[in-house]
Amino acid sequence: MTTQKQLLDKLESVVNQRLTVPTNDFGGQCVAAIDRILQYEGLYHLDFSYVNAIDCLDRAANLGLKVTRFNGSNNPPVGAVFVSNCLPYHEFGHIGFVVANNPDGTITTIEQNIDSNADALYNGGWTRKVIRNLSSDGTFSYVNWQAPAQQMIGWFELPFEDVKADIEINNLEDLKLMKEFILKNGKYGFGVFVGGKYIGLSDIGSVNSFKDTLGLPVVSLGNDDFKRFTEAHG
């Protein structure tokens, strides 16, 4: 089964490309990117051909996927596929992948056909990585991109291989076998060890972002070992 990290890595690899599929004659449409990733890239065998973005929640439900409707306070999880309403501009809707829930409350997405090129409805666009803000009234606006805001309808979730449970380490020597991980301690909090350096994390949102986006295991250390490790690698 596909891991969340495998999906996110694949999405990162296609940013700024135009994704097409043989069943869609309109080029790089937003839904073509979804169909390409979920049916043609070896990650899943989920058929999203011959469907507009606005109808993808129904298609997902028919495929047995978990579908959630936006209720004003919930957020799509990392790895989910969102669907939004594009009225009054057009009735076809929009769709994309959620790749991070950021500590400041914004959402990072990877989505296609948001360049506002004149032939977008007929030839589509390219895949972009952007930051969005989701308001309680459903307004799904762009933070770092020039495109009209949409209205969040909901999202569907993909099946992932189970993530590893927290690892408890009783000997610092054991950590030498691990290259990257999230460090956890009841007294001192959390941090992440990447690239040979320890970085403290101030909030659980940052922890979850590293855990979800990079697929890092969580390592639990006792007070003394945690302090020794962070002092040595901070």
pLDDT tens figures, 163-186: 555 677 777 777 777 788 888 887
Domains and CATH numbers, the chain: 4-157 (3.90.1720.10), 167-233 (3.30.720.190)
Query: Are 180 and 194 contacting, i.e. CB atoms less than 8 angstroms apart?
Result: yes
**pLDDT higher than threshold 90 for residue 71:** yes
pLDDT interval class at 137 (50, 70, 90): very high
At 83, which amino acid appears?
V
Q: What is the pTM of this model?
A: 0.72
3-state SS, residue 37: helix
The pLDDT tens digits for 105-129 are 999 999 999 999 999 989 999 999 9
Dihedrals phi, psi of 213, to nearest 5 degrees? -75, -40
Residue 202 vs residue 179, higher pLDDT = 179
Residue 165 is predicted with a pLDDT of 58
Smallest CA-to-CA distance from 132 within 123, 120, 141 is with: 141
Mean pLDDT for 28-45 is: 97
Residue 176 is predicted with a pLDDT of 74
**pLDDT higher than threshold 90 for residue 3:** no
